[in-house]
A and B are shown apart, each in its own frame.
Chain A
Amino acid sequence: MILQHAPEGTIAIRQDDHAAFAAFLLEHWSNNNFTKDPQRDQIILAARHHDVGWIAFDAMPRLDPVTCLPADMTSVEPEDALTIWRRATALHLEDDPFVALLITHHAYSIHEIAHKRQPAWKAFFTEFAQLRAELRDALGLDHPAIERAYSYLRMADWFSLQFCMRHDLGAERPEHYAGYQFRRVADTLQFKPYPFDLRSLSYSLPFFRMADGGYRDEKQLRAAFDRPEMLNVTIEPMGRL
């Protein structure tokens, strides 16, 4: 679960909905000759399914006793992370090991930043490093080949995640990632240079409005996830700063 805290209140976005937004960005990505990339469809599928392991967790969100809001992705315990990422990688191990490899590499990479030196995460890193090596060798790939394809997944994940998490993204000055400046103005996500195939894109992002003061128990919390509202996101070029 992703939480976005804004002055007007907190909203929750399910991980799988964030992943769908990331995949949408890649479907329209036209820079770097990506539309002709022979691995394009696999990269987009990996982006779409990279958080599929969260579906069951987000369907039955747990209550954070401190915030009285759903426990979000930043508070995931190593045992749960193992479960979540095993589910995501297992989805494509048989039908498309390259997609499984991208998701495995993603799992390792994002947790490496936050948890690499923590003993509790040792089992996670050992398992995913081993799985990544097995898939890499079975596919006859080297690390640069993985990184080249993965860079798209990582980038789309980052743009989507930042939009989902931060209502004030780039408010003071634009954010920078992978050579792109980006910022959020209300529900519009702006880029410079502009990497997409259409001059303006529209996307409906499901979200759930959280009650002020949070929830007493998980039953009450889960009732808040009955039906999503839709955030109508526009993506367009960034004008003069």
Chain B
Amino acid sequence: MIDDTDRFAGEALVAVAGVLPSPLLVARLAREHALVVGTDGAASRLLEIGVHPDVVIGDMDSVGDAAERLALTGTTFLHRPSQEANDLDKALTWLAGSGMTQATVIGVGGGMIDHTLNNFSVLARHAATMRIAIRDDASCGYFVGDRLRARTHPGDRVSLIPTASARLTTHGLEWELDDEKLQLGVREGASNRAVGDGISITVHEGMVVVVHYPAIME
């Protein structure tokens, strides 16, 4: 089965101030990405688990005592005081301006609910110009506007959440979609299941977040 999820990894890891995955996963993701960016709220937590961000970005109101220690290891601080954008937006804007085409984001959820919803909106906006993945300990989410093919195990949970609306066709799911429309507030595609060793999601219009819960997290 063809798997092209690796195009959603490798360039930039962005940590925001929600609930971060386990230290082992964060450390592994940091190794697998060329650049580690922490928003100022997440920077000190990265440092606590032994991950040194290359860049810290934000209004620097919550980086605290970690700033001095991070500065000693060469971390670059990009002070962005604007209140017009949240720290995730600032980080993704800077990455896009720096030539990065991919970002894996951790810590998106689990904090305050308005922050989580706002982060989803920010991610959807930037996903129009960057390949964006979100990760936690149990799942991988991919913002897909074209096609995604992923290896699965039978029974793996797969959810399809439109960023606004999307028309798509699926292969390899228990409840297939055939050129059908998903729309926020109208119809979502949560908690579907893979039936074999791979799935293919083709998005004809709009964008969906494909959230895959592998039976075995690799």
Contacts and interface: CB of A to CB of B under 8 A. Distances in A.
B98 A56 contact: yes
Contact of A59 (B34, B73, B79, B81): B34
Contacts of A17: 74
Contact of B73 (A49, A55, A204, A226): A204
Nearest to A20: B74
B78 interface: yes
B125 interface: no
Interface string B28-65: 00010011000000000000000000110000000000
B76 A55 contact: yes
B76 A52 contact: yes
Contacts of B98: 53, 55-56, 87
Q: How large is the interface on A (under 10, 10 to 19, 20 to 34, 35 or more residues)?
A: 20 to 34
A228 B72 CA distance: 13
Contacts of B79: 95
A87 B54 contact: no
B34 A222 contact: yes
Contacts of B34: 59-60, 222, 225
Contacts of B95: 56
A56 B99 contact: yes
B55 A204 contact: no
A206 B97 contact: no
B13 to A, nearest CB: 11
A102 to B, nearest CB: 17
A83 interface: yes
B11 A20 contact: no
A91 interface: yes
Contact of A49 (B35, B76, B81, B99): B76
Interface in A147-202: none
Interface in B59-87: 71-74, 76, 78-79, 81
A91 B77 CA distance: 12
Interface SS majority for chain B: mixed
Contacts of B55: 55
A90 B97 contact: yes
B35 A55 contact: yes
A16 B98 CA distance: 13
B109 to A, nearest CB: 26
Contacts of B12: 59
Nearest to A52: B76
Contacts of B72: 204
Given A16-B76, A17-B74, A206-B74, A55 B97 contact: no
Interface string A78-106: 00000100010011000100000000000
B58 to A, nearest CB: 14
B130 interface: no
Contacts of A59: 11-12, 34-35, 54
Contacts of A222: 34
A59 B101 CA distance: 13
A20 B76 contact: yes
Nearest to A225: B34
B122 interface: no
Contacts of A55: 35, 54-55, 76, 98
- 9 closest A-B pairs by CB: A59-B34, A59-B35, A56-B98, A56-B99, A60-B34, A17-B74, A206-B74, A20-B74, A56-B100
21 contacts: A14-B74, A16-B76, A20-B74, A48-B76, A52-B78, A55-B35, A55-B55, A56-B35, A56-B100, A57-B99, A59-B34, A59-B35, A59-B54, A60-B34, A87-B97, A87-B99, A91-B78, A95-B81, A206-B74, A222-B34, A228-B74
Interface of A: 14, 16-17, 20, 48-49, 52-53, 55-57, 59-60, 83, 87, 90-91, 95, 204, 206, 222, 225-226, 228
Interface of B: 11-12, 31, 34-35, 54-55, 71-74, 76, 78-79, 81, 95, 97-100
Given A20-B74, A59-B54, A228-B74, 17 more contacts: A16-B74, A17-B74, A20-B76, A49-B76, A52-B76, A55-B35, A55-B54, A55-B76, A56-B35, A56-B99, A56-B100, A90-B97, A95-B79, A206-B73, A206-B74, A225-B34, A226-B31
